[in-house]
């Protein structure tokens, strides 16, 4: 080809215009979030609407939701490598990517929420072995390292590592450790998922939280919703790329698993409400429950958000054969389950803080009820986390060989 011919050859962008528009949208989200985070770092947490009575709000809700929605990684890895159901193997890489996006989003959220991000390393150096929060921090750190190790073989398969065969060989060695990492990841994940609930359940001065079912509900909700999110991501990628990513029979099987998990979660939730709230007669719990019903929209968010949208709707869409075979219904069910998880984490975190502290659970509440609604800067930082998570999923799906016979 002559030089003049080369000059006439049109310049082609590496991405399609639609893809560039999507990346631009994600960049806007991240810029809004970074600007909000800088304002928080400069002025401190006092510019948020959090207070001494309600010190946790939107950010902790996002943090806990991200961890729960990323639980598909340890759930599906355990099913494949521990229980030997190799049929689900095609979705493992995608589930680990979704889990990585969820857990790193939670850590990014905490970096802003702690108020002093320069001290993020303190839990790793100054061990407080009596603190549930310290145990959660250590478990999440270890599990994130496990996911990175599990995902390293996928990264070294990209063309970028053609020039470094030694690294690719090392990645293949790490791949042989996957069954061991799956077992370790399951143990660590169950520890911190349950401890997130136990963190609330052991606080006797917060009567609304003080109940033994919290760890079980946190674990079951994560196990049920995490795989559903991965199924939704697989279907969306198929629609966007026009290529089959994971066999549909595999996705339908995972959706049914999530449906059963949601029903189990719903059973524990109703047992908790009946046995603990209505019949348990634990001092302070009945008063706290009545206060939330009278002065907050807790009843509406519980029945409509947690029960109907979070459990019944996705369970029907995942388990009824007519809907289970419809990819759109699976994505809708996953979105509904996501909404339910977010509302549950909000109700637990913020709802429990609305009830005044009672150091003597038998006494009547005399302190004013806590009030809270996120400030604009809090929404901005939440947008940062959402933009980050979507960017990780987008770039990972575009550049990494997540599926067998991946064509680019």
pLDDT digits (tens, 9 = 90+) for 94-151: 999 999 999 999 999 999 998 888 888 999 999 988 888 898 889 889 998 988 888 8
Q: What is the mean pLDDT of residues 199-210?
A: 70
Check pLDDT > 80 for residue 246: yes
- Positive/negative CA dihedral, 294, 299, 305, 306: positive
Task: Quote the radius of gyration of the chain (alpha carbons, Å).
Answer: 23
**Cβ distance 95 to 73 under 8 Å?**
yes
pLDDT at 310: 95
Whether 245 is covered by a domain: the verdict is yes
Whether 32 is covered by a domain: the verdict is yes
Q: What is the mean pLDDT of residues 142-167?
A: 86
* All residues at 6 or more sequence positions from 249 whose CB lies less than 8 Å from its CB, including other chains: none
pLDDT at 158: 82
Average per-residue pLDDT for the chain: 85
**Angle at 207 (CA atoms; ends 289, 372), nearest 5 degrees:** 70
Number of domains in the chain: 1
Q: Which domain CATH number covers 99?
A: 1.20.1630.10
Choice among 8-12, 158-162, 284-288 with the minimum mean pLDDT: 8-12
Residue 78: pLDDT band (50, 70, 90) is confident
Q: Which two tokens stand for residue 43?
A: 């002025």
**pLDDT cut 70: percent of the chain above it:** 88
- CA atoms of 118 and 247, how far apart (whole Å): 45
pLDDT at 382: 97
**Cβ distance 108 to 66 under 8 Å?**
no
pTM of the model: 0.89
pLDDT at 91: 93
Helices in 177-213 by DSSP H: which ranges? Answer: 178-201
Whether 97 is covered by a domain: the verdict is yes
Choice among 234-248, 272-286, 299-313, 362-376 with the minimum mean pLDDT: 272-286
pLDDT at 204: 62
pLDDT at 43: 92
pLDDT at 359: 53
Does residue 161 or residue 221 have the better pLDDT? 221
Whether 405 is covered by a domain: the verdict is no
Whether 104 is covered by a domain: the verdict is yes
Q: What is the mean pLDDT of residues 280-299?
A: 74
Whether 12 is covered by a domain: the verdict is no
Does residue 71 or residue 53 have the better pLDDT? 71
Residue 256: pLDDT band (50, 70, 90) is very high
Residue 82: pLDDT band (50, 70, 90) is confident
Instruction: Please give, one letter per residue, the 3-state secondary structure of the chain.
Output: CCHHHHHHCCCCCCCCHHHHHHHHHHHHHHHHHHHHHHHHHHHCHHHCCCCCCCCCCHHHHHHHHHHHHCCHHHHHHHHHHHCCCHHHHHHHHHHHHHHHHHHHHHHHHHHHHCCCHHHCCHHHHCCCCCCHHHHHHHHHHHHHHHHHHHHHHHHCCCHHHHHCHHHHHHHHHHHHCHHHHHHHHHHHHHHHHHHHHHHHHCCCCCCCCCCCCHHHHHHHHHHHHHHHHHHHHHHHHHHHHCCCCCCHHHHHHHHHHHHHHHHHHHHHHHHHHHHHHHCCCCCCHHHHHHHHHHHCCHHHHHHHHHHHHHHHHHHHHHHCHHHHCCHHHHHHHHHHHHHHHHHHHHHHHHHHHHCCCCCCCCCCCCCCCCCCCCCHHHHHHHHHHHHHHHHHHHHHHHHCCCCCCCCC
Domain membership of residue 207 as a residue range: 18-399
pLDDT single digits (tens) 206-238: 777 777 788 889 999 999 999 999 999 999 999
- CA atoms of 266 and 275, how far apart (whole Å): 14
**Cβ distance 264 to 224 under 8 Å?**
yes
Residue 363: pLDDT band (50, 70, 90) is low
* All residues at 6 or more sequence positions from 24 whose CB lies less than 8 Å from its CB, including other chains: none
Check pLDDT > 60 for residue 326: yes
Whether 163 is covered by a domain: the verdict is yes
Residue 281: pLDDT band (50, 70, 90) is low
pLDDT at 306: 94
Most confident of 20-29, 53-62, 144-153, 188-197: 20-29
Whether 160 is covered by a domain: the verdict is yes
Q: Is 148 exposed, middle or buried (0-12, 13-18, 19+ CB in 10 A)?
A: middle
Check pLDDT > 80 for residue 14: no
């Amino acid at each position: 080809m002559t030089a003049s011919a080369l000059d006439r050859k049109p310049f082609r962008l590496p991405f399609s215009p639609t893809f560039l528009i999507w990346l631009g949208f994600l960049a806007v989200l991240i810029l809004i979030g970074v600007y909000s985070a800088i304002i928080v770092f400069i002025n401190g947490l006092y510019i948020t609407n959090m207070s001494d009575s309600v010190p946790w709000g939107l950010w902790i809700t996002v943090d806990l939701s991200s961890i729960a929605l990323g639980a598909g990684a340890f759930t599906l890895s355990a099913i494949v490598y521990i229980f030997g159901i190799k049929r689900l193997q095609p979705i493992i890489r995608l589930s680990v990517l979704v889990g990585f996006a969820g857990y790193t989003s939670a850590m990014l959220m905490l970096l802003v929420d702690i108020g002093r991000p320069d001290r993020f390393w303190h839990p790793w150096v100054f061990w407080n072995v009596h603190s549930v929060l310290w145990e959660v921090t250590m478990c999440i750190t270890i599990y994130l390292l496990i996911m990175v190790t599990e995902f390293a073989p996928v990264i070294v398969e990209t063309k970028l590592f053609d020039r470094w065969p030694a690294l690719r060989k090392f990645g293949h060695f790490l791949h042989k450790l996957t069954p061991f990492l799956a077992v370790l990841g399951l143990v660590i994940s169950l520890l911190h998922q349950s401890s997130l609930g136990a963190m609330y359940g052991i606080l006797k001065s917060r009567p609304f939280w003080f109940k033994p079912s919290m760890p079980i509900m946190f674990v079951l909700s994560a196990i049920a919703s995490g795989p559903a999110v991965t199924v939704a991501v697989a279907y969306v990628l198929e629609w966007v790329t026009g290529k089959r990513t994971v066999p549909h029979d595999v996705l339908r099987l995972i959706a049914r698993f999530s449906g059963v998990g949601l029903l189990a979660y719903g059973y524990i939730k109703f047992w908790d409400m009946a046995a603990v709230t209505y019949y348990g007669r634990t001092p302070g719990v009945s008063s706290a429950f009545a206060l939330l019903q009278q002065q907050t929209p807790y009843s509406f968010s519980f029945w409509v958000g947690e029960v109907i949208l979070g459990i019944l709707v996705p369970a029907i869409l995942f388990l009824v054969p007519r809907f289970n075979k419809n990819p759109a219904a699976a994505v809708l069910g996953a979105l509904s389950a996501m909404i339910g998880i977010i509302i549950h984490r909000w109700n637990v975190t913020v709802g429990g803080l609305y009830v005044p502290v009672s150091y003597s659970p038998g006494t009547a509440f005399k302190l004013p009820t806590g009030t809270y609604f996120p400030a604009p800067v809090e929404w901005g930082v939440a947008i940062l986390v959402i933009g980050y998570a979507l960017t990780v999923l987008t770039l990972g799906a575009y550049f990494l060989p997540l599926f067998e016979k991946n064509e680019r």
